[in-house]
Structure 1
C-alpha cells in the first residue's frame, strides 16, 4: 500500500479513471479493484476531512501514529480469543465466509502517505463494521453498509454503490431494503461515533456488546 508505487494523475486523467471505474463497477460489482479506483479518484476531499478528524481525536491520532494494518499477521490472534469478544466475532465473520484480511487491493492514486494510509484503513475496517453492525455480505447487507459508510465518510463512491446496489434488487429485496434496512442504516450511521477514529485492534479482547455500546452502534434489524 505505502511501500508500493502510487500513480499521480492529472485532473483529466482522474476523471477518465473515475468514469471508467464507475462503468466497470456497475457492470461487475465483484471487481474490487475498480471500486477501489473509483473511491480513490473521487474521494480525496472526503478522505482529507477524515484525516483531519482523526488528527483531532486521541484514538484517531494513535491510529495515524502507529498505522496498524488489518492483515493476517496482525489479527490472527482474534481466532484464539474468548467467544464473547469482538475479536472472536470478527474471526467468526471472516472464517464463516472464507475471507482473508489480506485480499484488499493496494492504494494507487493518493498523493501523500497519510492519505494513502487513511484510504487503506477505510478499506480494511470494512469487515469490522460488518461485524459490529451484524450485517450479512449479501447485496442488501453490503448496500446498507454503504449507506453507513457514506454518512461516516461522505465518499461519493458509497453513494454510487447504493444507487447501483438498489438497481440490482428484485422487487422483494427492494421492499425489504426500504422498509427495514435503509431507515435503520440512516439512523445507525448518524447515531454511532466517528468510526474512522477507532483503534479497533485495541478492542479485540473486549465483550462485543460492550464495544457496541461504547461506539453507540445499533445492530441491523432482525427481519423475519
Structure 2
C-alpha cells in the first residue's frame, strides 16, 4: 500500500468516532457540519445564477483545470438534477440515513481507511488517494445552492467522486475523468457532466479519442445504468467490506484496463 498521505484527524479536533460518544457531542458535530455548509452558501437571484453559469462555462472552456469554475457551473445549472437526487435519497433507507447524519468525506472522518485490511473498499480508497497525493479536503465548497439540504446533496456528490474512481477502477487522466463524468451523468443527469465530456473529447488526441469512443464511452453508459443508485449508498459504513464483494453487491462493472 502506498502511504503518501495519511488522513487522520489533526490534534485538537473531534474525530468521527468521538462524534458518537454522547448525545451532546453528536449535536455539536451536526451543528459544525451544518454551519460549514451554511457559511459557504452565497444566495443568488435568477439572473445572477445565469451570469455565474455563463461566466463559469466560458472560463472552464478557456482553462479546464479551474475546478472552482467547473464546480460553479455544476451548481448553477444542476438544481433540477440535485432536486431529483434528493427525492431519491429520501425514498431510500440508506439515503435517508445519509441526509440525517450528513457524513462528510473529509480527512477527519475517513482517515481510518488507512488502517483497514488491504482487500477492503476503504483500503482501496486510501491507496487511490495516497498514490496520487490527493487530500479529501481539497474540494471547493458548494456555494450556489438555494437550501442547506440541496447544498449538502451537491456536497455529497462532489465528495464521493473519488470513491467512484475507486469502485470503477478509473484513472485520473483525461480518459478516466471523462468516463466517470458519463457515469455521473447517467446517475444524476447533471448538465455539467455532459459538458465536461464534450470538453474532454475536444482535448483528446486521435488515439485517445478512438479509445474513448470505442471502449470507454459504451462501457461507461452501461456501467452507469446497470449499477445501483450510487447517491443512496452510505459508503462510510462499507469501508471495512471486501472491495470485490461491494462491487458485486452494487452492480459495479470495473473499467476496461487494456482494451485491444
Tell me, in whole angstroms, the C-alpha distance in 1 between the residues paired with 2:40 and 2:160: 23
Tell me, in whole angstroms, the C-alpha distance in 2 between the residues paired with 1:44 and 1:136: 28
Runs (4+) off by over 4 Å? none
Q: Indicate yes or no: 2:152 matched with 1:117.
A: yes
Pick the structure with greater CA Rg.
2
Residue 63 (structure 1) aligns with: 98
Residue 103 (structure 1) aligns with: 138
Residue 41 (structure 1) aligns with: 76
8 Å CA contact 2:43–2:146 kept in 1: the answer is yes
Of stretches 25-34 and 141-150 in structure 1, the one that deviates more from structure 2 is 25-34
1:2: how far off? Answer: 1.1
Residue 93 (structure 1) aligns with: 128
Tell me, in whole angstroms, the C-alpha distance in 1 between the residues paired with 2:195 and 2:85: 19
Q: Indicate yes or no: 2:48 matched with 1:13.
A: yes
* TM-score, with structure 2 as normaliser: 0.85
Q: Indicate yes or no: 2:250 matched with 1:215.
A: yes
Matches within 5 A, 1:198-213: 198-213=233-248
Matches within 5 A, 1:43-192: 43-192=78-227
With over 3 angstroms needed to count, the CA separation of the structure-2 counterparts of 1:179 and 1:5, relative to structure 1, is closer
Aligned partner (choices 197, 201, 206) of residue 232 of structure 2: 197
8 Å CA contact 2:179–2:220 kept in 1: the answer is yes
Residue 107 of structure 1 aligns to a residue whose secondary structure is coil
* TM-score, with structure 1 as normaliser: 0.98
Of stretches 4-13 and 99-108 in structure 1, the one that deviates more from structure 2 is 4-13
- Deviation by residue 1:56-97 (Cα, 9 ceiling, x = unmatched): 000000000000000001000000100000000000000000
Tell me, in whole angstroms, the C-alpha distance in 1 between the residues paired with 2:108 and 2:210: 41
